[in-house]
Structure 1
Amino acid sequence: MTEPPVETSVRVSTLELFFDLVVVFTIMQLTDSLADHLGWAALGETVLMLALIWWMYSGYAWLTNAMAPSSTYRRTLLLVGMAGFLIIALAIPGSFGAKGWAFGVGYLLVTLAHSVLFLHSAGASAVRAAVGFAPLNLVSAGLVLAGGLLPSSSRAIWWGAALVVQFVIPFLRRLGGVSLIAGHFVERHGLIMIIVIGESIVSIGLGFAGVSLDGASILLALLGLGVAYYFWWAYFAGDEERSTAALAGITDPVRRAWIAIWAFGHAHFPMVIGIVLFSAGIKEAIPAAFDPLAWSAAAALAAGAALFLVGHAVFLLILGIRHGVPHRLMAAVLILPTVFIGRIDATAQVLAILAIMSVGLIIEDLPELIRSRSTNLHTFGR
């Protein structure tokens, strides 16, 4: 059997991390806006905007995987893209109102910078691929801008059409033209996820605005921190290394590209939405402490944690990793009914979510811990 070629190890640059911080600011804005108007309409708007944002963030992850930001020209255009994301973030609170035009302008700026960089700075094969997808990305950005300029009553239709264009792009263009360095790609998505998980901690702090610091609120904050920790555990405790190995082991460039799109693009999206939902819920829960939560806040807590676990389980399955999948799915199923606990007591619901996640993930790791302990005892005995 022929061994797959060893890939060059490329670390994520500090500029890419700086870029990601700006993108996460847009996600924080979405969380705050959702928390202020928890309901079906706000959720639909949040999902639509985040889907558009996530598509272009993924585009930049592919871009810097194929092209290091190693020149002033490249860094300047990345700065232009960051400026576009910042405009989007600032427009989010009123994006379905008077600020829709700003969201559209920012989105067009992000897309233009991405297209120019791909067409003028990437390798020959990447440029050929960009010739295929860049015009379609610009069509999508044009729809976003048009929706932002037109009356808000039709905005969701225009932005939904832009999302449809984005979804079909991979099916219309041959994949594999852009080389994919597995280690860099996995690390880049891992960094954005750790920052997004950190956003749930920020939401705990924001929930204390105007709230007295007492034992009840501190307890709830610590329980929220515990849930964020198990978000980290689910994503990073061993599975990041396994996902790197799984992606690197796919030698066919077209199949690797498809797996990357479905695993790191589509499957990561529900994880991010899940964290946004949980963060919005915990922000609303902090002032409640031992009081009942509204249905919307209790549902946000339960659905957010469950959606994250389901998204990660799907991510592992797409990569062919079955380790931990049943535990995540079972935990997600058990978490959903905690919405009824939240209707009685906010702290009890967060405690229940934390208990379910911790037990599920600890049980998942028990066989490996037992094997490790047995190996150590055997080695010591020798």
Structure 2
Amino acid sequence: MTRLLPDWFVERINPVPDEDDLPVSTLELFFDLIFVFTVAQFTALIAYDPLMGLIQTVLMFGFVWWIYAGYAWLTNVIPPERPARRTLLLCAMAGWLVIALTIPAAFKEEGGVWIAVGLLVVVLVHGLMYLQAARAFGPVFIANLVAVAAVFAAELGPDGVWRYALWAASAVIVWTVPIWHGQRGLNLHPAHITERHGLVVIVALGESVVAIGIGAAGLPIDADLLVAAVLGLAIGACLWWSLFVHDLPQTEHALTATKDAVKRVRKVLVGLSYAFIPVLVGILVTAAGLKHAVGHAMEPLDLASTLLLSGGVALFLLGTAGLRASMPLPRAWERVVLAVAVLALAPLGLVNTALQLGAIVIVLVAGLAVERKLATRAPKPAPSE
């Protein structure tokens, strides 16, 4: 394949000899911060209209997360160490900013095609850079462009079912790529790819704290505000603990122990891409629920808000269960049981907001404590091959 960019712009890629020599760069951290704005836009959609906002979020997030995760893969094989690569990533950041700004209008008549333009920019930059390192990425690049074309058709066409169907088509196109693409010719470094996906979750968890601040704007400083805010932070801390204390470190070890490059890529796809959809959507849904809860701790919530709070946490836990099952890590079923227990707490919010928030915290803390006790008694799993 001929090079798609001139040599003076993108130099020939050299493989990274040692996986431990690939730290996450400050530019990648800067890049991830755009996700704060993107997450905030999705959270606002869900908080404004829980049902339609959630539907629109799932449809858009399907494509957005695929491409965003793709940039974690990109910098895994092409570290942004040279000026040309950094310049291209900065251009992609501009495209992501356009996407974030236009998310609220994507399903409205005045939406226009700007979100599709932003997606085209990030897909082109991503694809042209990735092809410098892996020719096997070519079919994936084509699929990404077809998905962008579906978004253009959605935004140029009439509002309504047509737009929803084409956005759904764009997500289906990209997420079915691993079914027909054999993943040969791709390789990933375990420590870097695990850390990059973890950083996205940290950014999203930070958005749940931002949601508390937004919900508190203009409210009096009283128990209604402070109790809900502190309990909301406690829920976020439990979600952090459930993923980062054991699961992500063990995920890195499992990927490192998987010496076959194709098997490793497939584990990343299932565990850090597919399973992270409910993880991240769960954070968005929880943050939307917290926006409604802050300032109303001593009052009952409406049904939609109670479902957002418990349902968001349950989605997150189900995503971590998927991560465990994909590596594989032990006791994925524990997270399913914990998710069901948290979801069962939703009716408490109809009585009192603080009661539901407090019950979620208690169940999460108790569940994580039981997990820790069981983990200390169980034998260590055999290394993956």
The normalised TM-score by structure 1 is 0.91
Report the CA distance between 1:326 and its aligned residue. Answer: 3.5
Q: For residues 63-92 of structure 1, give each alpha carbon's deviation from its aligned partner in whole angstroms, at most 9, with x where no partner exists.
A: 111100111111111111111111111011
2:178 paired residue number: 170
| Distance (whole Å) between structure 1 residues aligned to residue 72 and residue 184 of structure 2 | 15
Within-5 A mapping of 1:346-365: 346-365=353-372
Is 1:296 aligned to 2:304, yes or no?
A: yes
Q: Which amino acid aligns with 2:101?
A: L
Is 1:159 aligned to 2:134, yes or no?
A: no
1:183 paired residue number: 191
Root-mean-square deviation over aligned CA pairs: 1.7
Unaligned runs of 5+ in 1: 372-382
Is 1:333 aligned to 2:333, yes or no?
A: no
Q: For residues 68-121 of structure 1, give each alpha carbon's deviation from its aligned partner in whole angstroms, at most 9, with x where no partner exists.
A: 01111111111111111111110111111112411111111111111111123x
How many residues are treated as equivalent by the alignment? 360
Is 1:199 aligned to 2:207, yes or no?
A: yes
SS in 2 for 1:334: helix
Q: Which amino acid aligns with 2:92?
A: G
Unaligned runs of 5+ in 2: 1-16, 379-385
| Distance (whole Å) between structure 1 residues aligned to residue 102 and residue 328 of structure 2 | 39
| Distance (whole Å) between structure 2 residues aligned to residue 269 and residue 22 of structure 1 | 18
SS in 2 for 1:152: coil
Is 1:106 aligned to 2:113, yes or no?
A: no
| Distance (whole Å) between structure 2 residues aligned to residue 369 and residue 169 of structure 1 | 39
Is 1:24 aligned to 2:31, yes or no?
A: no
Given the alignment, which residue of 80, 84, 90 partners 2:95?
A: 84
Report the CA distance between 1:368 and its aligned residue. Answer: 5.7
Report the CA distance between 1:23 and its aligned residue. Answer: 2.2
2:27 paired residue number: 15
Contact persistence 1:27–1:50 (CA under 8 A): no
Q: Which amino acid aligns with 1:268?
A: F
Given the alignment, which residue of 269, 276, 291 partners 2:284?
A: 276
Given the alignment, which residue of 257, 267, 276 partners 1:259?
A: 267
Please, which moves more after superposition, 325-334 or 90-99?
Answer: 325-334
SS in 1 for 2:183: coil
The normalised TM-score by structure 2 is 0.90
| Distance (whole Å) between structure 2 residues aligned to residue 58 and residue 86 of structure 1 | 16
1:374 paired residue number: none
Q: For residues 286-305 of structure 1, give each alpha carbon's deviation from its aligned partner in whole angstroms, at most 9, with x where no partner exists.
A: 13221111111110001000
Contact persistence 2:224–2:295 (CA under 8 A): no
Contact persistence 1:335–1:356 (CA under 8 A): yes
- Judging changes above 3 Å, is the alpha-carbon distance between structure 1 residues 119 and 58 closer, same or farther for their aligned structure 2 residues? same
Contact persistence 1:206–1:283 (CA under 8 A): yes
Report the CA distance between 1:355 and its aligned residue. Answer: 0.6
Q: Which amino acid aligns with 2:369?
A: I
Q: Which amino acid aligns with 1:61?
A: A
